[in-house]
A = this chain, B = another copy of it.
Amino acid sequence: MKTIAVDMDGVLADVYRQFIDMHFQDTGEQLDTKTIRGLKEREAFPLLEKHVHAPGFFENAPLIPGAKEALKQIHEQYKVFIVSAATEFPRSLQEKQSWLNRHFPFIPWQQMVFCGSKEIIRTDIMIDDHFKNLDAFQGKTYLFTQPHNENASSGRHLRVNSWEELVGLLATNKQKKPFL
């Protein structure tokens, strides 16, 4: 069974929606994803450092639309590993695992990885919204669209704009030929 590394923030967890909501609560200013397109997350959200360190930030993240249904489907055809950069924020570790257990109870603890750099992760496929993770990866790569990467060329990575699109591509590719 082929293996897939699936990122959390910006791929399963809708941290943009959360940053926009928290920014509004703190400042009364309603940010628009169109105006922050192409900006790095720390540029788009000046209060990011404060918000990611707030207790419950990772525990309460909303889901990216379609993520739950899509991952359940993919999980039947691939061995899914959730691979999340988490050690930068030690509090996030337990919150992230709790969040995964709640939303994706079919993913066992054996298939969860909380790391810093993803450079030593080796699966057949990687799904991520950050170039730094995909660029260092040797397998097949999908770039999940988020405002911070929206203006960039996806390079050797295949850009996907939704979980629905990704499920379709994985199913098609699977029938055609192996990835590696």
Contact = CB atoms under 8 A, between A and B. Distances in A.
Interface in A119-134: 120-123
A86 B113 CA distance: 9
A115 B116 contact: no
A87 B109 CA distance: 5
Interface in A56-113: 81, 83, 86-88, 90-91, 93-94, 97-98, 108-113
B94 A91 contact: yes
Q: Per DSSP, are chain A's interface residues mostly helix, strand or loop, or mixed?
A: mixed
A110 B117 contact: yes
A97 B113 CA distance: 14
A113 B114 contact: yes
Copies in the complex: 2
A120 B87 contact: no
Interface string A27-69: 0000000000000000000000000000000000000000000
Contacts of A110: 87-88, 116-117
Contact of A97 (B93, B111, B121, B123): B93
Interface string A128-172: 000000000000000000000000000000000000000000000
Contacts of A97: 87, 90, 93
A5 interface: yes
A18 interface: no
The 8 A-B pairs at the shortest CB distance, nearest first, are namely: A122-B122, A110-B116, A93-B93, A87-B109, A113-B115, A110-B117, A87-B112, A114-B114
